[in-house]
Structure 1
Amino acid sequence: MLAHSCLSDQDAMSDLLPKDDGSNAVVHCEIESCSQRELVPFICEACGKMFCVKHKQKEVHGCSKLLTATDQARADRQAGLEASSKLDRAPLEAVSRPLYKTTEPPSSAKLKNDRARVTAAKLTFMKAKMSAKPAGRGASSLPSDNRFILRLAPATGLSCSTVDSPISLYFGKKWPLGKLLDYGQEYFGIKSSPGQSLGLMIIEDEIMPNLPAEMRFLELSRTLNEYACEGRVTEGCLLHIVIR
């Protein structure tokens, strides 16, 4: 037998619960539309209200203090932001490095441009090579190792009867350029005025970039082979027939 008559927790709860018929302690569910009664109530740990076994879950009885997954994620994010705002970031910033470079170094950009130019030059040359025609009857009998492929066009302003320019052709490496000028003048139907002098000029493009102005005019007495050895012309380059 106990030495004192202290009420147990169950006895204390029983005294607080309403009586149904004077013999059994029952609890009405907090849900108004529910008529279920329980001898042992289910108390929500969040809102503190009593519910039957059917409505004991927070989601079922619509607990006013229920946090959804979105609410919980938002609360966690806010707590993280508040915590990070209080951190001393100076040591971290002192040793951190950006994962991605915001600006491309000039050397890298130049390298990409150079590669693009080289690729474009190769494509231009291949197109010229595939469509090249002999520059006159003598050129058709030239061996392949003695042919020089180039593109030829009349300059703007010249009176021509042929408009399909530039044309791709092959010319003898050791032939004087005056012979090429004669062929181009005949092919394009260029009519020169009395006292007008025509010449050949290299046009700057992807094949011949950054060409100084003083090196663009070619001497008609020299050969393509001579200019190629000096690096002043390259196969596939574009020449214009111009007024000198």
Structure 2
Amino acid sequence: MAELFIGQHCDVSHCNQNDFLPFTCSSCNGIFCLEHRSTAAHNCEKAEEKVASSTVKSEFKSYSCSKADCRKKGPVPVTCPFCNFQFCMSHRHPQDHDCTKMPEREKSVPMAETAKMVKEIQARHRTNPRRQTPKSEKARQTAAKVALMKMKMHAKGDTGIPQLERVYLEVCLPARTTLDKKPYFFSSSWSIGRIVDWLANTLKLENENDKEGTQKLKLFHSDTFQAFTMDTKLRDLMNKEKDQLYSGSEVILDYVPEGLDDIQDINN
């Protein structure tokens, strides 16, 4: 008669006991007897790695945005002073997440100041002949190609950006500067926020976008006069089906009151 083997031997070398009901370690998947079933009893190295891994993960906790339609997470908690919910950088301002606890006095943007700001932007940009009539997407693309050839000769930017990643834009600069507009190139992987910060740093412009209750430095589409969202990648704006940017397009950099993302009445 053939010999019948039941159970399994313990993986601890000095034990090797045959256990009829062996235990499997959840960390290293080893087989052990009753005496050596705990991770401490068989000096489980995998268990130590798990503990170290969970410790590292806990150090890099992320915080979810409380806005219903936002799935972004941030490395630090940003709490609204009115509703006490946490939000991402894009929705950190009470106006951005439609805060229901914000006092009425905080909701009103000083209309006189806003009107004055918009009129200044209007006076600076309305005389541009390119804006007299809206252009079709094809016409905008053709105009951008023509402008691109000139931009490449004079544009400034981060020389570390590879040639294939460079996107050239004609930037209309804020009214408080002495410059009208200048060509620059940026990486297609940069976000609008990074472009704004780079321009502010390069041109020594005041930039208080991270502070509450201050004028914001924003980048606007030169045809729709809508502000670009700060966390949007440049390459994503170039892949839109409508109102997309092209290498060679023109954009507007200017200061606006907090909460103003639309200067579409600029031609009025």
Q: TM-score range by the shorter chain?
A: 0.3 to 0.5
* TM-score, normalised with respect to structure 1: 0.41
* TM-score, normalised with respect to structure 2: 0.37
**Bigger fraction of residues in helix:** 1
| Higher alpha-carbon Rg | 1
